[in-house]
Amino acid sequence: MPEAGVAAKGLGRAVIFLGPPGAGKGTQARQIAESYGVPHLSTGDMFREHVSRGTPLGLRAKPIMERGELVPDDLVLSMVEDRISRPDCSDGFILDGFPRTLPQAEKLDEILRRRFQAEPLVVHFLVDQNQLMRRLTGRRTCTIGGEIYNIYDHRPKVPGRCDRDGGELVQRPDDREEVIAERLAAYERQTRPLVDYYRRRGMLKDVDGMAALGSVTKNVLEVLAQKK
Ligand SMILES: [Zn+2]
């Protein structure tokens, strides 16, 4: 298990963080990726990068995103494959919030099989519905560095300001109460089936996402250290 100040050693595999919105995947992915010195990948960041660089993928994705429509699977998967083909991913990475559907999971398996000998490991965050609502409605995101806080259980030292860079903390549009019920329903419908898909194949480890932030991190690190 990596400790603070110890040189990065990589994961040697793809690690997928799976769980409903608000389960703390993003916060944990950020910390764990830092401990292992591997990239933390989210499709949102990939899209933003392609759009700002004006790549062919970005040019295709931009109008779709501007219309607020769902980006088609082939486009998302091309972007993911492009990203994980880069040298910084050669010793593993953490995928946060992807895949979201069974077809995406199946195609991701093919891509990963070509790149890694080790099977991907899926870390599944268990959280109850009440805590999810609290986490989602309380979430505030830093406008500079993207750090995530919560006005109930992970407060910044100065209200409304990021501890790390002093950035303004805002509520993302999709963390508003009226959007949340819809996002949770979409998770149940589209993404929940992935839990069975991965569990059946022995790739999935459950982690109690309701514990304190630090002990969730510790549990994830233990899972990553034991399953080789
Ligand atoms: Zn910040």
pLDDT tens figures, 148-187: 999 988 899 999 999 999 999 999 887 888 888 888 888 9
Instruction: Output the six-digit token pair for 52.
Output: 């700002």
Residue 227: predicted pLDDT: 59
C-alpha of residue 212 to centroid of ligand 1, in Å: 21
Q: Which residues are catalytic?
A: 25, 100, 139, 172, 183
C-alpha of residue 146 to centroid of ligand 1, in Å: 6
From the CB of residue 26, how many other CB atoms can be counted at a distance below 10 Å? 21
User: pLDDT, tens digit, for every residue of 60-76?
Assistant: 988 988 887 778 899 99
Cβ atoms of 28 and 220 closer than 8 Å: yes
Q: First CA to last CA across the chain, in angstroms?
A: 12
Cβ atoms of 15 and 95 closer than 8 Å: yes
User: pLDDT, tens digit, for every residue of 12-64?
Assistant: 999 999 999 878 899 999 999 999 999 999 988 898 899 999 999 999 988 98
C-alpha of residue 11 to centroid of ligand 1, in Å: 26
Residue 192 has pLDDT above 70, yes or no: yes
Cβ atoms of 118 and 127 closer than 8 Å: no
Q: By three-state DSSP, how is residue 15 classified?
A: strand
User: Model confidence at 6, in pLDDT bands (50, 70, 90)?
Assistant: very low
Residue 69: predicted pLDDT: 79
CB-based contacts of 69-76 (< 8 A; 24+ apart in sequence): 71/47, 73/101, 73/103, 73/104, 73/107, 76/43, 76/104
Residue 5: predicted pLDDT: 43
Q: Residues with Cβ < 8 Å from 136, sequence gap 6 or more?
A: 21, 22, 175, 180, 183
C-alpha of residue 140 to centroid of ligand 1, in Å: 11
Q: Which residue has the tokens 């300001």?
A: 161
Percent of the chain with pLDDT over 90: 64
Q: How many CA atoms lie within 13 A of 209 on its CB side?
A: 26
d(CA 59, CA 53): 9
Instruction: Output the six-digit token pair for 201.
Output: 């194949």
- Domains parsed from the chain with CATH numbers: 14-226 (3.40.50.300)
C-alpha of residue 147 to centroid of ligand 1, in Å: 5
Percent of the chain with pLDDT over 70: 96
Residue 7: predicted pLDDT: 43
User: pLDDT, tens digit, for every residue of 131-150?
Assistant: 788 878 899 999 999 999 99
From the CB of residue 44, how many other CB atoms can be counted at a distance below 10 Å? 14
